[in-house]
Amino acid sequence: MAHNHTIHAHQCHFGWDNANQPVVMAKPGESIEFHPMDSSGGQLTKDSTVANIAALDFAKVNPVAGPVHIDGAEPGDAIKVTLLDFSPSGWGWTANIPGFGLLTDHFPDPALHIWSYDKVSMVPAAYGPGGKVPLKPFCGTIGLAPAEPGLHSIVPPRRVGGNMDIRDLGAGSELYLPVEVAGGLFSVGDTHATQGDGEVCGTAIESPCSVTAKFELVKAANLKFPRFVTPGPVARHVDHKGYEATTGIAPDLMEATKAAVLGMVELLAQRHKMQEVEAYLLCSVAGELKISEVVDMPNWVVSFYFPRCVFE
């Protein structure tokens, strides 16, 4: 796909900072092809083993390519990012990293799964005996620099975007980001071959992908938070055979969420004769968290949907 600029893997940074110098000065209407590193910053490869999880340097995780200065962008404006195309690499990884993820108390030990998939046909990726996970590339981290000075971690999402891990920010989606500093200073990374809603173990199919995006400027948009538009249905890659679903019910949404996910982990492990941590990783890349009800106090209902097409 034709584009106006290219940003390469060596042009990545490891924290949001409005003092970072832009690597590209772009005009509204121009497009850029990004080649970010994977979320491990190259620390994990096709040949990695579970022993490499303990050696991860967290100062080097979640690098983002950029930043990009968009001409004319000022605080109060919004930058419209249209995600035009993804070119996946054909490999990726999913890990349980101790102390990270939804069910840390249940899964204290590291785990790692290395994926291989066809980057041309993008047929579902094999997982264990009989499992096939549908693919849908997207970028997990995408955002602008915050107004607050200094270096800020890329791990938590912010008002200006960042590590939002919204699986529907794939090809054709349009994302609107609130500008806090002149030029916006856009960066992108943390590309995934696919992910479940919630990314419950903390990782998806973390996979190097190039991303092409077009940038436009919306003056005086005054957005409080990011918003986005999808080009069509968001779950056709997984919903054609229906779902299994488990629920969690509690007065605390996080506790209900944990209960719903743990219920599915136990169900999958028992039914498909896999270790629970393997089911946990699978839930992270293929399941869907939904808040089913938040009005019937004092208890709220969270549901976790798992697509039946993975095993049928």
* Per-residue pLDDT tens over the stretch 144-184: 999 999 999 999 999 999 999 999 999 999 999 999 999 99
Whether the predicted pLDDT of 7 surpasses 90: yes
At 2 the pLDDT is 76
More confident residue, 2 or 68: 68
Whether the predicted pLDDT of 26 surpasses 80: yes
* Per-residue pLDDT tens over the stretch 97-126: 999 999 999 999 999 999 999 999 999 999
Of the candidates 27, 19, 23, the one whose C-alpha atom is nearest the C-alpha of residue 6 is 23
* Architecture of the domain spanning 5-229: Sandwich (2.60)
Of the candidates 31, 7, 18, 3, the one whose C-alpha atom is nearest the C-alpha of residue 189 is 7
Query: How many CA atoms are closer than 13 Å to the CA of 103, on its beta-carbon side?
Result: 28
At 185, the pLDDT band (50, 70, 90 cuts) reads very high
Q: How far apart are CA 161 and CA 159, in angstroms?
A: 6
Whether the predicted pLDDT of 209 surpasses 80: yes
Whether the predicted pLDDT of 4 surpasses 80: yes
- What single string gives the DSSP state of each residue in 250-262? ESSHHHHHHHHHH
At 278, the pLDDT band (50, 70, 90 cuts) reads very high
At 195 the pLDDT is 98
At 248 the pLDDT is 98
The tokens describing 49, both together, are 């083993």
At 186 the pLDDT is 98
What integer is the mean pLDDT of 272-283? 98
What integer is the mean pLDDT of 134-144? 98
- What single string gives the DSSP state of each residue in 60-127? GSS-EEEEEEETT--TT-EEEEEEEEEEE-SEEEEEE-TT-STTTTT--S-EEEEEE--TTT-PPEEE
At 1, the pLDDT band (50, 70, 90 cuts) reads low
Class level of CATH domain 243-310: alpha beta
Three-state DSSP state, 140 = strand
**Parallel/antiparallel/unpaired status of strands 5-7 and 31-34:** parallel
Q: Per-domain residue ranges for the chain?
A: 5-229, 243-310
- pTM score above 0.85: yes
